[in-house]
Amino acid sequence: MQAFVPGIYPRSEELVQATRDLDRGRTTEEAVDAQVERDLQQLVAAQQDAGLDLLSDGMLRWQDLFRPLVEAAAGLERGALTRFLDTNTFYRAPQGAGGEVRLVEAVNGRYVAPLPAERLVTLPSPFALSQGTGYTPREVAEGILKPQIDATTAEVVVLSEPFLAREDAADFDGLSSALDVLHGGPPLALWITFGDASDLLAQGLAELPVDGIGIDFYSTGIDAVPDGFGKHLLAGVLDARNSLLEEPREIAAFAARLEEKAERVALLPNGDLQYVSEPIAREKIARLGQAKTTRAEEA
């Protein structure tokens, strides 16, 4: 059983202050860069201390799930400030700018920071990135995500998907076609964040052409997962929208139940940890590691 933390990680109070100061002209880009580096080192240490299997860079420079890719692409531009699901956090919704959608230059080390051990990379899923742009998921997969993934070195690419579970009639054919395009590089996982995936599972979510499927188990009942689940099951067992701290023993017991349904299980949050403050996120990571250890000892 693995454990890891994809998605955007919260900034430390020091980085919050540094970026505030930058906006107010009280500090320099270099000083903020130095603090980002310190945050990254602390995040790496937190993951290593917890015994996580793949490291994440926490996407500390990403303004939101889409922005660096939108800014690096032709055919897309930043749209209106939009509430992210039921949070008080907002993002610039991508919008179509016309013409062919393509990545002009892959986002670099500034946004995909080098890490000292095996890592994951998080990108938006083609469905999420295409929302509201006028392009199909396949078009953004071909034009943006595929070249970005080709430029990426990772043990797994986690495709974050916050919107699909809220669709009344998800277009699985369109999404499947888009995901097909992305193969040929690292294994892919489709991470359904912050939403009930029951209907998606019933419609064949597990048949999509990816290696892993991420499920939010604070919104989704375990019974929705079919027995003999054939994919790597990325189990969202940390509630990234709640300050309550999870009990490692409860997670471990739940993981044991999941292992009866799927051969391969990984423990992770149910979405980006940036919706809690950094100290809480750090403690949640520690507890995720404890849960994994507890489960390993019991197995």
- Three-state DSSP at 9 gives coil
Residue among 35, 47, 133, 219 that touches another protein (CB under 8 A): 219
Residue 163 binds another protein (CB under 8 A) = no
Q: Nearer to another protein by C-beta: 88 or 184?
A: 88
Q: How far is CA 175 from the centre of its chain?
A: 17
Residue 167 binds another protein (CB under 8 A) = no
Joined together, the tokens standing for residue 294 give 């507890």
Distance CA 201, CA 231 (A): 12
CB of 198 to another protein, least distance (A): 7
Total of chain residues touching another protein, rule CB under 8 A: 50
Nearest to 122, CA basis, from 169, 54, 70, 36? 54
Nearest to 60, CA basis, from 287, 214, 281? 281
CB of 276 to another protein, least distance (A): 7
Residue 263 binds another protein (CB under 8 A) = no
Joined together, the tokens standing for residue 49 give 């201390």
Question: In the range 56-95, which residues lie near another protein by CB under 8 A?
Answer: 63-64, 80-83, 86-92
Residue 206 binds another protein (CB under 8 A) = no
Residue 13 binds another protein (CB under 8 A) = yes
Q: Nearer to another protein by C-beta: 127 or 217?
A: 217
Joined together, the tokens standing for residue 53 give 């299997």
Distance CA 259, CA 126 (A): 29
Distance CA 90, CA 94 (A): 12
Distance CA 292, CA 50 (A): 9
Residue among 111, 127, 135, 218 that touches another protein (CB under 8 A): 218
CB of 128 to another protein, least distance (A): 17
131 close to 76: Cβ distance less than 8 angstroms: no
250 close to 225: Cβ distance less than 8 angstroms: no
Binding range to another protein, per CB under 8 A, among 37-45, 113-121, 139-147, 242-250: 242-250
Distance CA 101, CA 260 (A): 43
- Three-state DSSP at 81 gives strand
Joined together, the tokens standing for residue 4 give 């890891």
Q: Nearer to another protein by C-beta: 143 or 275?
A: 275
Residue among 4, 163, 217, 229 that touches another protein (CB under 8 A): 217
Residue 11 binds another protein (CB under 8 A) = yes
Residue among 46, 59, 251, 285 that touches another protein (CB under 8 A): 251
Q: What is the binding site for another protein (CB under 8 A)?
A: 10-11, 13, 16, 19-20, 22-24, 63-64, 80-83, 86-92, 196, 198, 217-224, 237, 239, 242-244, 246-247, 250-251, 254, 257, 274-280
